[in-house]
Amino acid sequence: MKELVGRPGSGSGLVLRLGQVSCAAASIGIMVSANGFATFTAFCYLIASMGLQVLWSFGLACLDVYALRRKRDLQNPILVSLFVVGDWVTATLSLAAASSSAGIVILYARDMDFCTLQFHLPCSKFQISVALAFLTWALIALSSHVMFWILLNSV
Amino acid sequence: MKELVGRPGSGSGLVLRLGQVSCAAASIGIMVSANGFATFTAFCYLIASMGLQVLWSFGLACLDVYALRRKRDLQNPILVSLFVVGDWVTATLSLAAASSSAGIVILYARDMDFCTLQFHLPCSKFQISVALAFLTWALIALSSHVMFWILLNSV
């Protein structure tokens, strides 16, 4: 179980964290570049949630770099419990943010057909940003499950 | 850990499951009674997700009744693993459905102010239904955590 892909303090763990940081940062960047995003509460919440995700994942990526350089083992139960709780909280917030934004995007693009009727709406940017938010959630859910398995096998 | 509140096959577990069933059923009932809900994809998804939640929680409530009447112990690792996975999947779907619907409700009630401008919209019904969906998610998340603790302590 020590060799689980994506475990903390490993190369694959670092890649997973950097993937989360880059997807969340890209989601924020694309949303911020879309005109009029600030009129939608859900899109502002998406930015806040992805911002928190960037901070959390970047912090853990730095910890992974430290562990890799100093060859430290990060797999003690207390530290892994902290990672599980943090991953669970950020995953929940990310899923809620991505889903609420997706609700609006589907309403505009499919239900109301506003995206073809109102050309000034940057619908494609909204869609890409939401898709990246879901990708971020999938990556953080993966991390969360890896931590859960490590915790299960370390108690 | 055998005495954990909300564990499967206990009275508190049964109450928790019945709470999930009633909240999810009430959410469906109120949403279906709101005029024009079918034009919103997110609200249809909310009904589908709450329907799945009713089925899952009702099934486990029946199992709890069986265990209570026959005095059977449901806390073996394989059964608890199944409960953890099922609870996790339904909790994720419920949160996604509640959040996507909440995104639309906030858009209509706050961002666009449609609820005060367009009197024919049953905004209060949408809001109550979404609130009940979040309550259902909170209850299923509670069940999911109880199962997680039981699993942690049974391996």
Binary contact (B104, A104; C-beta < 8 A): yes
| Chain B interface includes A42 (CB < 8 A) | yes
Q: Mutating which of B37, B49, B107 best tests the A interface, going by the most A Cβ atoms within 10 A?
A: B107
Q: Mutating which of B31, B43, B100 best tests the A interface, going by the most A Cβ atoms within 10 A?
A: B100
What's the CA gap between B79 and B67, in Å, rounded? Answer: 13
**Residue A128 pLDDT > 80:** yes
Average pLDDT over residues B53-67: 95
* A46 three-state secondary structure: helix
Partners of residue B95 in chain A, C-beta under 8 Å: 92, 95-96, 99
| Chain A interface includes B95 (CB < 8 A) | yes
| Chain B interface includes A104 (CB < 8 A) | yes
What's the CA gap between A39 and A12, in Å, rounded? Answer: 39
Q: Residue A27: what pLDDT?
A: 98
Q: How confident is the model at residue A75 (pLDDT cuts 50, 70, 90)?
A: confident
A95 alpha-carbon distance from chain centroid: 8
pTM (2 d.p.): 0.92
- Token pair 């955590």 is found at B145
Binary contact (B110, A41; C-beta < 8 A): yes
Residue in A39, A40, A106 nearest the CB of B41 = A106
Q: In this predicted model, what pLDDT tens digit does every residue of A50-73 receive, in sequence order?
A: 999 999 999 999 999 999 999 888
* B137 three-state secondary structure: helix
Closest-CA residue to A10 (of A83, A110, A78) = A83
What's the CA gap between A142 and A136, in Å, rounded? Answer: 10
Assembly ipTM: 0.90
| Chain B interface includes A20 (CB < 8 A) | no
**Residue B66 pLDDT > 70:** yes
In sequence order, which residues have a C-beta less than 8 Å from that of residue A89 and are 6 or more positions away? none
Binary contact (A39, B102; C-beta < 8 A): no
Q: Residue B152: what pLDDT?
A: 82
Q: Nearest-CA distance from B9 to chain A in Å?
A: 23
- The secondary structure of residue B6, as a DSSP letter, is T
**Residue B155 pLDDT > 70:** no
The token duo for B78 is 């394989």
Q: How confident is the model at residue B8 (pLDDT cuts 50, 70, 90)?
A: confident
Average pLDDT over residues B8-29: 95
Q: Residue A155: what pLDDT?
A: 67
Q: Nearest-CA distance from A95 to chain B in Å?
A: 7
Burial state string for A51-70 with b = 16 or more CB within 10 A and e = fewer than 16: ebbbebbbebbebbeebeee
Residue in A42, A102, A155 nearest the CB of B106 = A42
- The Cα-based distances of B92 to A112, B87, B89, B107 in angstroms read 27, 8, 5, 22
∠B112-B104-B31 over CA atoms, to 5°?
120
What's the CA gap between A3 and A49, in Å, rounded? Answer: 31
What's the CA gap between B80 and B94, in Å, rounded? Answer: 20
Q: In this predicted model, what pLDDT tens digit does every residue of B69-121 receive, in sequence order?
A: 998 888 788 888 899 999 999 999 999 999 999 999 999 999 988 888 877 88
Partners of residue A39 in chain B, C-beta under 8 Å: 111
| Chain B interface includes A78 (CB < 8 A) | no
Q: Residue B2: what pLDDT?
A: 56
| Chain A interface includes B39 (CB < 8 A) | yes
- The Cα-based distances of A123 to A8, A40, A77, A80, A90 in angstroms read 37, 13, 45, 40, 26
Residue of A nearest to B39 (CA): A111
The length of chain B is: 155
Contact (Cβ atoms closer than 8 angstroms) between residue A125 and residue A143? no
Q: Nearest-CA distance from B93 to chain A in Å?
A: 10
Q: In this predicted model, what pLDDT tens digit does every residue of A10-56 receive, in sequence order?
A: 899 999 999 999 999 999 999 999 998 999 999 999 999 999 999 99
Q: In this predicted model, what pLDDT tens digit does every residue of B31-58 receive, in sequence order?
A: 999 998 999 999 999 999 999 999 999 9
**Residue B26 pLDDT > 80:** yes
Residue of B nearest to A36 (CA): B111
What's the CA gap between A76 and B76, in Å, rounded? Answer: 26
Q: B87: left (phi > 0), else alpha (psi -120 to 50), else beta?
A: alpha
